[in-house]
Amino acid sequence: MRTPDYSLDRLRAYLHKHLIGTFDQLRRAVGAPERATLFRLLAKTDALSRYSHRGGYYTLRSIARFNARGLWEYEQVRFSRFGILLETLRELVERSPRGYSAR
Amino acid sequence: MKTKHALAELVDRKLLTRQRHSALYVYLSAQRTKAREQQKQRREQALDLPSALLGSKCPPAVQEAKAALLLFWATLDEKQRRLYAGLDRRRSGQRWSREPIQVFDHDFPSAAQGVGVPYGIYDPLLNQGFISVGTSKDTSAFAVDTIRWWWVQFGRQAYPHAEGILIVADGGGRNGYRTRL
């Protein structure tokens, strides 16, 4: 049996069209590969996951338009230049002139 | 994961430090020198908040103009509710007595005629304080009424060209962000 070939181009094309996508949406767009396969494909791109809610949405780093704080929001889904929430908070605190409170 | 939990985790991992500053926990850099600088700047800002709002380098005329546009920096603080016209009534006014007047050591709600609910406004530019005492409940409507009263009685005379009011208040209770009026 021939091994199915899942194309990175289809993944990129989907994200360029829709800007963001959930894991399931990306899976369908690529041709319904296994979870691990899609993770491998995502790892080969410059994909970013949403920094909260366990990274439910993905986008490409080249698509995101980060603000001065390194954050980008699209349809209430937020992405960070620094990756996950912990790294984002750490970077924000490190770069802030006066630190931050949680309120 | 909530932001405060993530911050707590970063502190646990010693990737950030946490310090108490004016009743708030402030998260600072893990690097000692950087954290010290952040603390210093925060202290300076706290000392000079009115100037920060106006722009500390502005000449007085520009400051006045800015004040006309926007400025009212108020601190609204909730004070303790007091029972009134109940038991202290026996001591009201001035009178002479050869013996001390007996009073209860507690104010009992059942004997009181009502409560006094104070609401304070502080205008740091004029360095003037205002207080309004309500006689019913501690509601957001009362807070709004007090601010409106301040504006009608004093604010619009002090800032005749103002186009907006900046109110700095603590959150919760009648100043809570969930109330909609």
Q: Which domain holds residue B94?
A: 49-175
> What is the tens place of the pLDDT at every residue in B18-72?
888 766 788 899 888 888 888 888 877 765 544 544 454 555 555 444 444 333 3
B43 and B91, same structural domain?
no
Q: Tell me, yes or no, if A98 comes closer than 8 A to chain B by beta carbon.
A: yes
B39 and B56, same structural domain?
no
pTM metric for this prediction:
0.49
Q: Tell me, yes or no, if B52 comes closer than 8 A to chain A by beta carbon.
A: no
> What is the tens place of the pLDDT at every residue in B125-146?
787 888 787 777 778 888 888 8
Residue from A87, A101, A103 to probe the interface with B (highest B Cβ count within 10 Å):
A101
> Given A85, A93, A98, which is nearest B42 (Cβ)?
A98
Averaged pLDDT, A45-58: 75
* Three-class DSSP category at A100: strand
B76 and B58, same structural domain?
yes
B58 and B38, same structural domain?
no
B72 and B32, same structural domain?
no
Residue B131 domain-assigned?
yes
Residue B180 domain-assigned?
no
CA distances from B36 to A91, B27, B125, B127, B176 (A): 17, 12, 30, 32, 33
Residue B7 domain-assigned?
yes
Q: How confident is the model at residue B103 (pLDDT cuts 50, 70, 90)?
A: low
Residue B181 domain-assigned?
no
B54 and B40, same structural domain?
no
B29 and B101, same structural domain?
no
B153 and B132, same structural domain?
yes
